[in-house]
Structure 1
Amino acid sequence: MKRILALCLFIAGVSGNTGYAQGQSFSLAEAQDYALVHNYSLLESKEEVEKAQARVNEVIASGLPQVNGSAGYQNFIKQPVQLIPAEFFGGEPGTFQPVIFGTKQNMNLDVTANQLLFDGSYIIGLKAAREVVELSKLQRKLSTQEIRKKVYDAYAMAVAAEENLKTLEASAKNLEELANQTEALKSEGLTDDITVSQLQINLSNLQYAVDNAKTQITMAKNLLKFTLGFPIDREVVLTTGIDAFTEVGIDQFATDQYSALRTTEAKLARQNLLLKEYRYKADRASYLPTLSAYFSHQQNAFGQEFSVFTNSDNYFTTNLVGINLSVPIFSSLRKKNEIKQSKIEVTLAKINDQKVSEAMRLEISNAQATLKNQINNYKTQQANLDLSTKIREQTLIKFKEGLASSFDLNQSENQFLEAQAKYVNAVINLSQAKSNLDKLLNN
């Protein structure tokens, strides 16, 4: 919470130095939709999905024909000399005749095509690569759910802060009018300094609460803008009222025994298990032989002059077709230990799958209990606020009629401010409990 507060204060300072820019109105739904396009984390997750798809294409391409070309040119400034027994040329036995083989100018062109015919690891790896894309999509879905929740929570905080400011400003205006009236009565000798001073203290406390509420609005909106991916120096106008966050019923979050298994977190755990199983199968398939075919086309040119580039008669062609079979025989138990490790990874993934499923059941159960508790707490704080408002108004009337003291007025004012603060917190806690359960069940 301290990090978020510090971030909001920093953003508030930045926005204070950039000047006012044109604002934009957002309903809650519009804000969530905007964040799905502009939020920084979602932009990153989108790139991760595309990266995973590129990885699949890379794996597919590795099993398709691979064609490579090469060219080489040699210019022997000084040709190498070989010694041949002189008797081959009718010379004296035991002596050698220096000879030069080859030409000074050599040119070779080579085009080779390779095609994988069979590789067990490739077949399994191809299936696994496709599942990596699904994993990336699930991770993006989870990020989307988290961003929608963050937008909901930040929006609710901002709306609650604005409603709080309206109430406090209205109260401060009424109290200021009363303080002015009391000051006038004092000048006529109809009241004392203590009563006037007490009202000034109450008014000062209320004005501080108003200023603090304005700061809370700035912080909440800056956090909302950052979550949206919206420019900090632009103003946002919130069009969704507070009722959208308080009209919550536990019945709208019905669950069954399979709800935990449908959560994105549980799906991610199962997807991770699937990938570990593919890895285990791929390691086992490494014991199988690998078969590939190749075709090579070569053209070699020889000459004493540079005409090898222009005289096609100097070129000689060679074509070659072949098959390569690679059979693993002995790896000093390296492969055996690799397979053992991947098998253990499968076992760990199964344990994690079970753990996540149970954790999701626990989270859903706790989230339901928390939401139910926060609904009750909101109703209680709303009732307390209504009562404290009535007490405050009645005490204010009695004070004007001389039937209540400034101490009574101060007490009712403090009671009202405390009830108002608790009500705002109840609204925020209720909205957060609702969004948390909604994220878990939004599959």
Structure 2
Amino acid sequence: MMFFSFPGLGQAKQENPSPSDTLDLKACLNLGLENSRSIKKALMDEESAKFYRNEVKAGGLPQISAYGNYNNFIDVFPQAVPGGLFGPGDADDVAVIALGVPQSLKAGVTVNQLIFNSSYLIGLKAARTSEEFYKTLSLQTEEQVIYDIAMNYLGVTQMELQRENLRANVDQLKGLERILEAQVANDLVRKVDLNRVKVNLSTLESEMENLETEIFRGLSYLKLIMGIPVDTPIELKKSEVNPETIANFQMTDLDPESRTDIQVLDIQKTLYDYEYKNIKATNHPSLVGFADFNRNSFSNNFDFLSESKVWYQGSLIGLKLQVPIFDGFAVKSRAAQSKIRQQQLLEDRAQALDAAQMEYNNATKKYFNALQTLRANEANLKLAEDVLKETALLYREGLSPLTDLLEAESTQRQARANFNNQLVQVRIAQLEILKSTGQITRITS
């Protein structure tokens, strides 16, 4: 295990930051975790899974329903009986009579109670696992939002540092321009030298205008993934990108089991196991208890509301046993399909493990290379600044031409840009290491 300090991602904690404040990375992450629409949708899925579990659980509770049935036989159904059954007649004849009364009314309550069903028991376990599945998906969504916000935050910060670098150089050239204008007016220098400065100044100002557009677009997208209105004015702190904030960084070894994408696949495997068991359980017997309590009344006319009407009570209880015998091998075929899906998932998991190892290896390689390049850029920047100071001094003493000064200024500007860009690359590599090890949420604490 290797340890590097990494204090920049979490110094003074800012409670409930406002978008109008100057925001550091942690403040942006807190706003994003609170307002991200992706996270809100994931939490809704998690809540829906809880209701689904209640729905499955309800299948094992008593199912009670009331019913009513009114019949008005315009013609009472005829019934055929042997002759002489209800009076004189030949037994070989058939007598047709009308049994029953024209009107009847029945109301009652039925109760059904599941006593045993293997699919129900397996379904309860699967529903509980589904809750865990959606909780893990919520964590995965949260990690992705944190990563997206951090990466875009660093991207905008990189452009703002470049803007500051250009602005400093523009200020230097404007100062030099004023000096040269006075010298040209007194015929101390050639006008072509002044024109060279004006050309360089115009180029830098055009670069700044283009950079302003890119910064605006970057901030707009950052606000979009944070879930705040895109017209909300925000300003980012630059303290996240400096040598001090990358000095401490704790890098742990890869543990694939801590990655939410692997955890999601493991939970999916459990769900497939339940699916297979549930399919096989359809061949198991099931037992249901039932009861019916009712009141009946009969009449030749509709007088059921009469107080003297007689109502007859009926009730029954019973058991219903269902034993599947032969289904044409449908269950066997469905179970085989479920097994194939499990095998496909195992291949997905193996590929995800390889991808996690590759991601971690790439991130660590990028990190150490970025550190090495940063040290070289830091040395180049110091050298370029020294050259610019010496060239400016020689130019003021008339010992160096303007072209050397402009070239030294351009070299120093590029060295500063390279150094700032490499600082961002180191921070990006650190974030990628945290993401590859499943530790990206560390930057919010």
TM-score range, shorter chain: 0.7 to 0.9
CA contact (8 A) 1:388 1:416 kept: yes
Mapping 1:253-268, distance limit 5 Å: 253-255=251-253, 259-268=255-264
Among 385, 390, 393, the alignment partner of 2:389 is 393
* Amino acid corresponding to residue 429 of structure 2 in structure 1: A
User: What residue number does 1:380 align with?
Assistant: 376
User: Is structure 2 residue 221 aligned with structure 1 residue 242?
Assistant: no
User: What residue number does 1:321 align with?
Assistant: 317
Among 56, 59, 67, the alignment partner of 1:59 is 56
Shift of 1:186: 0.8
Among 222, 227, 230, the alignment partner of 1:229 is 227
| CA distance in structure 2 between the aligned counterparts of 1:288 and 1:423, rounded to whole angstroms | 70
| CA distance in structure 1 between the aligned counterparts of 2:391 and 2:87, rounded to whole angstroms | 134
User: What SS does the aligned partner of 2:398 have?
Assistant: coil
Among 26, 29, 34, the alignment partner of 1:29 is 26
| CA distance in structure 1 between the aligned counterparts of 2:176 and 2:59, rounded to whole angstroms | 83
Among 143, 151, 156, the alignment partner of 1:158 is 156
Mapping 1:352-367, distance limit 5 Å: 352-367=348-363
Mapping 1:28-427, distance limit 5 Å: 28-76=25-73, 78-80=74-76, 82=78, 99-239=97-237, 241-243=239-241, 247-248=245-246, 252-255=250-253, 259-311=255-307, 313-427=309-423
Measured at CA, do residues 168 and 354 of structure 1 come closer, stay the same or move farther in structure 2, by a change above 3 Å? same
CA contact (8 A) 1:202 1:413 kept: no
CA contact (8 A) 2:57 2:124 kept: yes
CA contact (8 A) 1:293 1:324 kept: yes
Q: Over residues 245-286 of structure 1, what are the superposed CA-to-partner deviations in whole Å (9 max), with x where a residue is unaligned?
A: 863258611216xx1222112211211111111111222222
- Structure 1 or 2: more helix by fraction: 1
CA contact (8 A) 1:273 1:353 kept: no
Q: Normalising by the residue count of structure 2, what TM-score does the alignment of the two structures yield? A: 0.86
| CA distance in structure 2 between the aligned counterparts of 1:117 and 1:136, rounded to whole angstroms | 30
User: What SS does the aligned partner of 2:287 have?
Assistant: strand
Bigger Cα displacement from structure 2, 406-415 vs 26-35: 406-415
Q: Over residues 292-327 of structure 1, what are the superposed CA-to-partner deviations in whole Å (9 max), with x where a residue is unaligned?
A: 111111222222333213447432221111111111
User: What SS does the aligned partner of 2:327 have?
Assistant: coil
CA contact (8 A) 1:81 1:100 kept: yes
Shift of 1:179: 0.8
| CA distance in structure 2 between the aligned counterparts of 1:314 and 1:108, rounded to whole angstroms | 12
User: What SS does the aligned partner of 1:325 have?
Assistant: strand
Q: Normalising by the residue count of structure 1, what TM-score does the alignment of the two structures yield? A: 0.87
Bigger Cα displacement from structure 2, 148-157 vs 213-222: 213-222
Bigger Cα displacement from structure 2, 214-223 vs 193-202: 214-223
* Amino acid corresponding to residue 118 of structure 1 in structure 2: F
- Structure 1 stretches of 5 or more lacking a match? 1-20
* Amino acid corresponding to residue 167 of structure 2 in structure 1: E
| CA distance in structure 2 between the aligned counterparts of 1:44 and 1:280, rounded to whole angstroms | 30
Shift of 1:390: 3.0
| CA distance in structure 1 between the aligned counterparts of 2:285 and 2:77, rounded to whole angstroms | 45
CA contact (8 A) 2:241 2:427 kept: no
Q: Over residues 8-57 of structure 1, what are the superposed CA-to-partner deviations in whole Å (9 max), with x where a residue is unaligned?
A: xxxxxxxxxxxxx9834433212211111210110110111111111111
User: What residue number does 2:6 align with?
Assistant: none
| CA distance in structure 1 between the aligned counterparts of 2:351 and 2:70, rounded to whole angstroms | 64
| CA distance in structure 2 between the aligned counterparts of 1:293 and 1:220, rounded to whole angstroms | 65
Task: Give the % identical residues.
Answer: 25
How many pairs are equivalent?
Answer: 420
CA contact (8 A) 1:260 1:364 kept: no
Q: Over residues 197-235 of structure 1, what are the superposed CA-to-partner deviations in whole Å (9 max), with x where a residue is unaligned?
A: 110111111212222332232222212211110111110
Shift of 1:129: 1.2
Measured at CA, do residues 107 and 397 of structure 1 come closer, stay the same or move farther in structure 2, by a change above 3 Å? farther
Q: Structure 1 runs of 4+ off > 6 angstroms?
A: 91-98
User: What SS does the aligned partner of 1:317 have?
Assistant: strand
| CA distance in structure 1 between the aligned counterparts of 2:240 and 2:211, rounded to whole angstroms | 16
Q: Over residues 132-154 of structure 1, what are the superposed CA-to-partner deviations in whole Å (9 max), with x where a residue is unaligned?
A: 11111111111111111111112
* Amino acid corresponding to residue 119 of structure 1 in structure 2: N
* Amino acid corresponding to residue 121 of structure 2 in structure 1: I
Measured at CA, do residues 245 and 61 of structure 1 come closer, stay the same or move farther in structure 2, by a change above 3 Å? farther
Root mean square deviation of aligned Cα? 2.6
User: What SS does the aligned partner of 2:20 have?
Assistant: strand
| CA distance in structure 2 between the aligned counterparts of 1:205 and 1:372, rounded to whole angstroms | 35
* Amino acid corresponding to residue 225 of structure 2 in structure 1: T
* Amino acid corresponding to residue 67 of structure 1 in structure 2: I
| CA distance in structure 1 between the aligned counterparts of 2:46 and 2:346, rounded to whole angstroms | 25
